[in-house]
Amino acid sequence: MSVEYGQPQEWGAQQVYQPQRPERPLGVTILAVLSILGGILFLLLGILASVLGAAFAGTMMTGMKGLPLFIFAAVGVVFIILGLIELVVGWGLWKGASWAWWVTVILNGLGVILALVSLAGGNVGGIVTLIIDAVILYYFLKPHVKAFFGVTAGPTT
């Protein structure tokens, strides 16, 4: 039996009311919208790369006509897949799906680790990625954000 927020549930002879789902935090709304917009952008870029690859394959590298088409098509497919993932995660963030919280925390945690490795390798540009991923990770561990997603596991800040 699935439990929905704010709906009465039968429990023996009594009706038990579930608590209302907390209101979506502003930061979650912003990240969901950015994720959806990023997904749309990736989809458009993927379609554009695929179309350009098909349209200009014959004019590029006349000796290797298939290679540019393959490269553009591969880039297009990767962008389309990333766009679909971004759209699904953005929708999950908007709806407060617990799996979207986990995806965001895991990916931003990996982002922090990769940014640290990048910084250790001498790439000072990694500091921007480190700050963004760390702030998002910190925010998603706040109690009110975890409550919106219905997540009780993991650390809280």
Does any domain span residue 15? no
Establish if 16 belongs to a structural domain.
Answer: no
Is 3 domain-assigned? no
CB atoms within 10 A of CB 69: 19
Q: Which domain holds residue 101?
A: 96-157
Question: Cα–Cα distance between 32 and 40 in angstroms, integer?
Answer: 12
Q: Does residue 2 fall inside a structural domain? A: no
Q: Examine the fold and report which residue of 44, 63, 95 is the final residue of a domain before the chain moves on.
A: 95
The angle, 0 to 180 degrees and rounded to 10, between the axes of the packed helices 66-95 and 26-56 is 160
Helix (H) or strand (E) holding 140, with range, is: helix 126-140
pLDDT tens digit at each of 157 positions of the chain: 444 555 555 666 566 666 677 899 999 999 999 999 999 999 999 999 888 877 766 555 555 555 667 787 888 999 999 999 999 999 999 999 999 999 999 999 999 999 999 999 999 989 999 999 999 999 999 999 999 999 988 777 7
Give the span between the Cα atoms of 36 and 95, in whole angstroms: 12
Please tell me the total count of domains within the chain.
2
Helix (H, G, I), strand (E, B) or coil at 129: helix
Among 84, 93, 82, which Cα is nearest to 140's? 93
Q: What is the pTM of this model?
A: 0.78
Q: Are residues 60 and 109 in the same domain?
A: no
- Rounded to 5 degrees, φ, ψ at 18 are -80, 150
Identify whether residues 28 and 87 lie together within a single domain: yes
